[in-house]
C-alpha cells in the first residue's frame, strides 16, 4: 500500500512539471555535440545546465511552470538565447538552436512566446486574453 501511495504522489508531482527539449546545430545543419544548454527561471533566478548528446539533443525536465531564458553555447560558436519562454503545467516545449562560428560578430536573442498549438504533441498552450478576443470575433 505504501508503494502505491508513493507512486501516486510521484505521478502527481511530475504532472505539474514542464520540460524543454531540442537540438543544437550549426549553420550547415550538423548537430553540435557537447554544447551547453542553460535554462534560467526569470522569476526565481534558478539555473540548470545540460550538455547536448552526440546527436546535439538536450532535455531539461522537471521544471515548474514559469518564464525561462534558454541559452545554448559552445566554444568556437556565438551563443544563442531564447528569452521569455513560458512553460505551463505539463508542457513540453521544443527549441532548435542554430549556432554560428564566433568569428561572426553577431549576437542572436530570440524573444518567444509558446505557440498556441504545439505540433509536437496533442497539448495546446494557454491562450492570452488578446489572442482569445481576436479569435472569438
pLDDT (mean) for 85-90: 93
pTM: 0.67
Whether the predicted pLDDT of 133 surpasses 60: no
**Cα–Cα distances in angstroms (integers) from residue 119 to residues 18, 32, 88, in the given order:** 16, 24, 16
State the pLDDT at residue 123. Answer: 52
Whether the predicted pLDDT of 118 surpasses 80: no
Percent of the chain scored above 90 by pLDDT?
62
pLDDT (mean) for 97-106: 80
Whether the predicted pLDDT of 30 surpasses 90: yes
Contacts of 27 (CB under 8 A, 6+ apart): 98, 99, 100
CATH numbers and ranges of domains, the chain: 2-135 (2.60.40.1120)
Amino acid at each position: 500500500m505504501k508503494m502505491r501511495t508513493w507512486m501516486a504522489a510521484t505521478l502527481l508531482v511530475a504532472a505539474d512539471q514542464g520540460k524543454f527539449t531540442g537540438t543544437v546545430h550549426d549553420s550547415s545543419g550538423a548537430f553540435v555535440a557537447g554544447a551547453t544548454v542553460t535554462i534560467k527561471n526569470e522569476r526565481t533566478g534558478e539555473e540548470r545546465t545540460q550538455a547536448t548528446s552526440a546527436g546535439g539533443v538536450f532535455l531539461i525536465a522537471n521544471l515548474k511552470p514559469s518564464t525561462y531564458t534558454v541559452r545554448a553555447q559552445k566554444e568556437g560558436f556565438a551563443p544563442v538565447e531564447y528569452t521569455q519562454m513560458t512553460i505551463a503545467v505539463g508542457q513540453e516545449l521544443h527549441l532548435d538552436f542554430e549556432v554560428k562560428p564566433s568569428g561572426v560578430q553577431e549576437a542572436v536573442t530570440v524573444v518567444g512566446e509558446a505557440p498556441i498549438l504545439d505540433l509536437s504533441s496533442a497539448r495546446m498552450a494557454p491562450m492570452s486574453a488578446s489572442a482569445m478576443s481576436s479569435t472569438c470575433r
